[in-house]
A and B are shown apart, each in its own frame.
Chain A
Amino acid sequence: MKISRLLFSFLACITTSAYAQDSTAVNPLVISGSVDTYFKYDFSKRSNIQTSFATDQNSVSLGMVNFALKKSVGKASFVGDLSFGPRGQAQSILNAAEEYSETSANSFHIQNLYVTYAFTDKFSMTAGFMGTFVGYEVISPAANFNYSTSYLFSSGPFQNAGIKANYAFSDKVAVMVGLFNDWNKYQDFNGVSDFGAQLMISPVEGWTAYLNVITGYPSGTEFDLTTSYQISNKFKLGLNAADYSMPDDAGGFSGAALYPQYAFTDAFALGLRGEYFKAKAGTDIYNVAAGSAVTALTLTANVKAGPLTFIPELRFDNGEQEIFYRGRNSAAFDTKKASQFSLAAVYSF
């Protein structure tokens, strides 16, 4: 009874936040989150394309429910950001047991859990577990245009625990340096072993570019460029390019993805993701054989109705080698091509 009352109060609170917009005073407590669900159909009639989320074939499946709290008091602030559901648990690499498992140890996934102290307007320090600073796409479906994810996203870090210092020289230039655990680890048993840095530049209004590096042992070294330019209110162009090397020349990847997006109206936008991804010699990555590459073309629409976004999507992948299944009865990879359709609904609050 008490739990249902609590839940009702919380839902009432969220609902109110969606409609009561009558003040400029920003309360320090910020509540936000999202809920998502999807249907996917791969034309090979089985799960085929290696996307981090939207994995289930011919099924109305769950993404995640995500709750985030932020509060600031003076110069100190915290963010606590939790998610529940396949996208936020087993599919997000680590869960309560810090392992990838569809069947065990699923409890919740921490998206962000950190504290920040702003010493001045320009200088701040942050410690905790944070969404990675590397790459264009993120775990939260509300922050991505496409619903399926790129090979670059799936192969890079999802989150980094550590401590970082941010310094903003101006609105146009900022740097971040930090020490981090291995990728996607709440706790690092071999010590804080990664160094990360980011240079942000904003040459003109609407254009931001991030040059990122994260390096350490045994994580390896990744260089990353993530940039987006809102050329007009309707047209946005994004680019992500990355190169990753495992330690001891054991392999890695390199690739680039281009993200042109055009908003035809306030309710309808169309976007394309064109990606080239190559696995370096040494290790296969997401079925992409070592030394070979895959190109992927994803056509995505966003239909917005207030806080709700419908995301229909068509995706075509084409490997240099046979890395996909032709049909349901294929015993091994027997085709270079794969395609899928998905329809997702994402509600943000």
Chain B
Amino acid sequence: MACIDLMLLFSNKLSGLPIFIILFAIAFGRASAQGPAKTDFAKNQDQKYTLYQVVTDAVRSDSLLRRVVHFLKKEKATAIKQTDSSITCTGVFTVAKRALVSAQPEALVSFSFQLESKSGRYRFWLTDFITTPYKRNRYGQFEPEPGVRLPLEQEPGSLNRKSWEARVKSVEAASRQFAARLRTAVSEVISAPLPKKRLDVKKDEW
């Protein structure tokens, strides 16, 4: 929104300004828009990185938990445990280094997931992020290094700090994507598939 406002301002009053000012406005607008969204990915009281979200949309508890379990199975989560008002499981995702036309797997990340529902609201969090770096093998393919399990909170020395910071950002982005998919899966209206229409061409009827 901030981005659009700034662009309108520049287009109405300062239409002759060079294009870099517009680009600056876009960049500034983006930075402003991203700011508040970061507050729910931080270290918790146990000093572990956690993505925490509360959703206030009214969804019936039994329907909610059923949808969440369905979603988690689709995401290949394991150790799914359900009570009347909560779900826990473990999951994995891969974070990657991205370029213009390519991506390179960087680390396999496992995490713990917990969801609780109460009075039509629900909250969930992802935590206990453990990373296993990918390494290129003899066949030119990337695979996780067997047996290496590094907590995301384990900060490296100054030589490797930049890549660690980038990895934390990647995990945050992947967690947010997971959360977005979950919210979509819960809010989607599930309807039975329509029967397929069959086209009957009859010789005598036009």
A binds B: yes
Q: A residues bordering B, Cβ < 8 Å? A: 12-14, 16-27, 29-32, 68, 70, 79, 81, 111-112, 114, 130-133, 138, 140, 142-143, 202, 205-208, 228-231, 233, 236, 265-267, 303-307, 348
Given A29-B101, A265-B157, A21 contacting B170 (CB threshold 8 A): yes
| CB–CB A131/B160 < 8 A | no
Bound-state CA distance A228–B145 (Å) is: 11
Stretch of B10-18, B23-31, B132-140, B188-196 contacting A (4+ beta carbons < 8 Å): B132-140
A172 nearest CB across to chain B (Å): 11
| Residues of B near any A CB (own CB < 8 A) | 93-106, 135-142, 145-150, 154, 156-157, 159-160, 162-163, 166-167, 169-170, 173-174, 177
A265–B94 alpha-carbon span in the complex (Å): 24
Can you show 27 pairs from A to B with CB atoms below 8 A apart?
A13-B100, A16-B98, A17-B99, A18-B97, A20-B97, A21-B98, A22-B169, A25-B96, A25-B98, A27-B102, A27-B103, A30-B103, A31-B99, A68-B136, A70-B141, A131-B140, A140-B138, A142-B136, A143-B137, A206-B147, A230-B146, A233-B148, A266-B160, A267-B159, A304-B160, A305-B159, A306-B162
- Is there contact, CB below 8 Å, between B97 and A24? no
Report the bound CA distance from A22 to B147 in whole Å. 25
Q: Determine the distance from Cα of A131 to Cα of B173 in the docked complex, in whole angstroms.
A: 35
CB neighbours (8 Å) of B98 from chain A are 16-17, 20-23, 25, 27
Closest to A34 in B: B136
Q: Is the CB of A306 within 8 A of B163?
A: yes
Contact of A26 among B103, B141, B159, B163 (CB under 8 A): B103
What residues of chain B lie closer than 8 Å to A20, measured between beta carbons? 97-99
Q: A29 is contacted by which of B103, B106, B145, B150 (Cβ under 8 Å)?
A: B103
Q: How far is the CB of B49 from chain A (nearest CB, A)?
A: 15
Which residues of the partner chain A approach B102 to less than 8 Å between Cβ atoms? 13, 17, 27, 29-31
A310 to nearest B CB, angstroms?
Answer: 10
A266 to B99, CA, bound (A): 25
Find A230's partner among B140, B145, B170 (CB 8 Å cutoff): B145
How far is A142 from B134 in the complex, measured between Cα atoms in Å?
Answer: 13
Q: Is chain A's interface secondary structure helix, strand, loop, or mixed overall? A: mixed
Other than the given A24-B93, A26-B103, A143-B136, 19 more pairs (CB < 8 A) read: A13-B99, A13-B102, A16-B99, A17-B99, A20-B97, A21-B106, A22-B169, A22-B170, A23-B173, A24-B96, A26-B96, A27-B98, A27-B103, A31-B102, A111-B140, A130-B139, A138-B138, A206-B148, A306-B162
Provide the residues of chain A in CB contact with B139, threshold 8 Å.
Answer: 79, 112, 114, 130-131
Q: Which of B97, B147, B159, B167 contacts A207 (CB 8 A)?
A: B147
Residues of A within 8 A of B150 (CB): 233
Q: How far is the CA of A143 from the CA of B138 in the complex (A)?
A: 7
The answer on a CB contact under 8 Å between A30 and B142 is yes
**Bound Cα distance from A133 to B138, whole angstroms:** 8
Determine the main DSSP class of B at the interface with A. mixed
Quick check: B157 and A267 within 8 Å, CB to CB?
A: yes
Give the CA-CA distance A231 to B149 in the complex, in Å.
Answer: 11
Chain B minimum-CB-distance residue to A307 = B163
B contact residues around A70 at 8 Å (CB): 140-141
Contact B160 A305 (CB under 8 A): yes
Chain B contacts for A304, CB-based, 8 A: 159-160
* CB pair B147 A19 closer than 8 Å: no
Which B residues touch A143, using CB under 8 A? 135-138
Q: How many angstroms between the C-alpha atoms of A199 and B96 in the bound complex?
A: 30
Q: Decide: A21 and B166 in contact? CB cutoff 8 A.
A: yes
> Could you say which residues of chain A place their CB within 8 Å of the CB of B101?
13, 27, 29
Q: How far is the CB of A158 from chain B (nearest CB, A)?
A: 10
**Which residues of chain B are near A142, meaning CB under 8 Å?**
136
Which residues on B sit within 8 Å (CB–CB) of A18? 97
Which residue on chain A has the smallest CB distance to residue B101?
A29
Contacting residues, chain A, for B97 (C-beta < 8 A) = 17-21
Chain B residues with Cβ below 8 Å from A205 are: 146-147
Assess whether A202 is in contact with B170, with CB atoms less than 8 Å apart: no
Min Cβ gap A196→B in Å is: 14
Shortest Cβ distance from B174 into chain A, in angstroms? Answer: 4
Contact B146 A208 (CB under 8 A): yes
Q: How far is the CA of A17 from the CA of B96 in the complex (A)?
A: 9
CA distance A231 to B147 in the complex (A): 7
Q: Is the CB of A32 within 8 A of B136?
A: yes
Which 9 A-B residue pairings sit nearest by Cβ, starting from the closest?
A206-B147, A230-B147, A17-B99, A27-B103, A131-B138, A24-B174, A266-B156, A81-B140, A305-B159
